Amino acid sequence: MSFKKSRLAFLGQAAFFVLRAILAVVANWPFIR
């Protein structure tokens, strides 16, 4: 149970990090091109 909970928290953190990275890329898109 504890392992599953920690895994869920890790997945949530990873998803948040990916979402922030995508947001940063989208925000900087005009500067990249």
DSSP state of 33: -
| Owning domain of residue 14 | 1-32
Torsion 8-14-15-20 (CA) sign: positive
Domains identified in the chain, total number: 1
Predicted pLDDT at 11: 95
% pLDDT > 90, the chain: 58
Predicted pLDDT at 4: 86
Predicted pLDDT at 1: 61
pLDDT, tens digit, for every residue of 1-33?
677 889 999 999 999 999 999 999 988 877 766
% pLDDT > 70, the chain: 91
